[in-house]
Structure 1
Amino acid sequence: MNKVMMYSRQICPYCDMAERLLRSRGVDQIEKIMIDTNAGTREQMMTRTGRRTVPQIYIGETHVGGFDDLVALDRDGGLSPLLGNVA
């Protein structure tokens, strides 16, 4: 399974929903980078993704985007293959 990394905040309903979706697809470890508790991480996220909102999700080296992007990827059948699951 590919590594999953998510830029997040402590209070973020979309981050929580993204995590639930990922876990329902078999992801047991999500590296969370908290932009509200670690100085400089918001700027790092914005530079890396070009976006200002959380969550911002990476699967392996692929920037998936935010929650809506994750849901669309799952709906279109692309999430499981990206995770490395057998579709």
Structure 2
Amino acid sequence: MLELTLYGTLGCHLCDAALAELAPLANTVSIRQVDIADSEALMARYQLRIPVLQRSDTGAELDWPFDLPQLMDWLADHLREEG
């Protein structure tokens, strides 16, 4: 199963919206949430971009805003492999 990392922070309503967009893919991907407030390096990198999704297989990142069709396109190669 492909792991996606969702970079965000507590109280981020956009991060909650991103999780809602990911819900239909729950059987296809696993989601690891990382709070950027726990790391100065992550804050410097993602502070103005959250929420951001990152693929574990390629390292590719997808910045908000995104919706389910965009997620499906971004994950198309993985979804084809899963059949």
Long gaps (5+) in structure 1? none
State the partner residue of 1:73.
70
Alignment of 1:30-69 (within 5 A): 30-36=31-37, 38-40=38-40, 41-43=42-44, 45-46=45-46, 52-60=48-56, 61-66=59-64, 68=65
Deviations 1:48-82 (A, max 9, x none): xxx7231011123211112x1x22614xx504515
TM-score w.r.t. structure 2 length?
0.69
2:79 corresponds to 1:85: yes
TM-score w.r.t. structure 1 length?
0.66
Q: Using the alignment, how far apart are the partners of 1:32 and 1:81 within structure 2?
A: 22
Long gaps (5+) in structure 2? none
What is the aligned-residue identity percentage? 13
For the aligned residue pairs, the C-alpha RMSD in angstroms reads 2.4
Instruction: Give the 3-state SS of the residue equivalent to 2:79 in structure 1.
Output: coil
Instruction: Decide which structure has greater helix share.
Output: 2
Q: Using the alignment, how far apart are the partners of 1:6 and 1:39 within structure 2?
A: 14
Instruction: Decide which structure has greater strand share.
Output: 2
Query: Which of structure 1's runs of 4+ aligned residues deviate more than 3 A?
Result: none
Contact 1:25 1:80 in 2 (8 A): no
Instruction: Give the 3-state SS of the residue equivalent to 2:2 in structure 1.
Output: coil
Amino acid at match of 1:10: L
